[in-house]
């Protein structure tokens, strides 16, 4: 039997576990000067749905549906704002918040240290490729000064190539982002091949009255059809906007108004 095997089996000579070893002189202090504000580089989500008031058929609506991707130019900023408001509420109730800036390769080591201390954490990956971690466990350096400004700067510097923010269970973002935009009183006619912007141009060119609005960063508009239009005229109007796809043939996720990723 070789010497390594003997040592491993002998309780008098235990092999130390260095898998979570933290170097005493390792630098973990945050460096705000390295944080660079970033923007998503992907295209805007252009999906749109056509809705009709259940009791007043001449009142309709075209609204965009968020794709929920961080790389989207619409959803990315929306998710940033959502996370900023959520984490601000979580961090504000803590007596002391610690922050550290580490390479991604060191994350598991520090995550275990936070967990063993009974703390919560928010892990934010920046565009520069480093992690900024906020925690209520005494790991890293306590934040002195304007905590909200530091948090806002970190979230404005996230990478948009994939999901950049994750947390421990206690600081988890509640809800999965699913829900109905319309609520009661509206039914879905179908989805349009045209974007909201394209549909608005068509509707305005027909002389139909519209009223625009913005919901969670996504654009839409209400339609007020002439009251003398019958059912055939109303359906003809819907088909003019683009190919009409029956609700039962469309993916259920297509009609969700909030991000699902």
- Check residue 246 and give its pLDDT: 37
* % of the chain residues with pLDDT over 70: 70
How deeply is 71 buried, as exposed, middle or buried, from its count of CB atoms within 10 A (0-12, 13-18, 19+)?
Answer: middle
- Check residue 219 and give its pLDDT: 75
Say whether pTM exceeds 0.85: no
Q: Per-domain residue ranges for the chain?
A: 32-37+75-171, 48-67+177-255
| Chain segment 158-212, per-residue pLDDT in tens | 988 888 999 999 999 875 343 344 456 888 887 776 778 888 888 888 889 999 8
Length of the chain: 261
- Check residue 19 and give its pLDDT: 41
- CB distance 149 to 97 below 8 Å: no
């Amino acid at each position: 039997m070789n010497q390594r095997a003997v040592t491993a089996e002998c309780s008098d000579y235990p092999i130390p576990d260095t898998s979570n070893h933290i170097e005493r002189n390792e630098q973990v202090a945050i460096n705000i000067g390295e944080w660079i504000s970033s923007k998503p580089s992907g295209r805007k989500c252009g999906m749109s749905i056509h809705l009709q008031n259940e009791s007043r058929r001449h009142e309709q609506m075209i609204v965009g549906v968020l794709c929920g991707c961080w790389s989207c130019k619409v959803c990315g900023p929306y998710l940033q704002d959502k996370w900023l408001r959520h984490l601000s509420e979580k961090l504000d109730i803590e007596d002391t918040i610690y922050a550290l800036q580490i390479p991604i390769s060191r994350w598991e080591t520090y995550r275990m240290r936070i967990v063993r201390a009974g703390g919560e954490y928010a892990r934010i990956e920046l565009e520069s490729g480093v992690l900024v971690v906020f925690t209520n466990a005494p790991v890293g350096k306590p934040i002195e000064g304007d905590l909200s400004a530091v948090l806002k700067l970190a979230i404005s510097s996230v990478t948009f190539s994939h999901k950049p923010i994750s947390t421990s269970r206690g600081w988890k973002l509640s809800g999965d982002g699913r829900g109905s935009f319309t609520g009661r009183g509206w039914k879905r006619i179908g989805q349009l091949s045209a974007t909201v912007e394209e549909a608005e141009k068509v509707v305005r060119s027909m002389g139909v009255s519209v009223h625009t609005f913005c919901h969670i960063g996504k654009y839409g508009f209400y339609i007020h059809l002439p009251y003398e239009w019958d059912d055939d005229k109303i359906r003809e109007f819907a088909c003019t906007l683009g190919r009409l796809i029956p609700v039962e043939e469309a993916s259920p996720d297509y009609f969700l108004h909030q991000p699902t990723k």
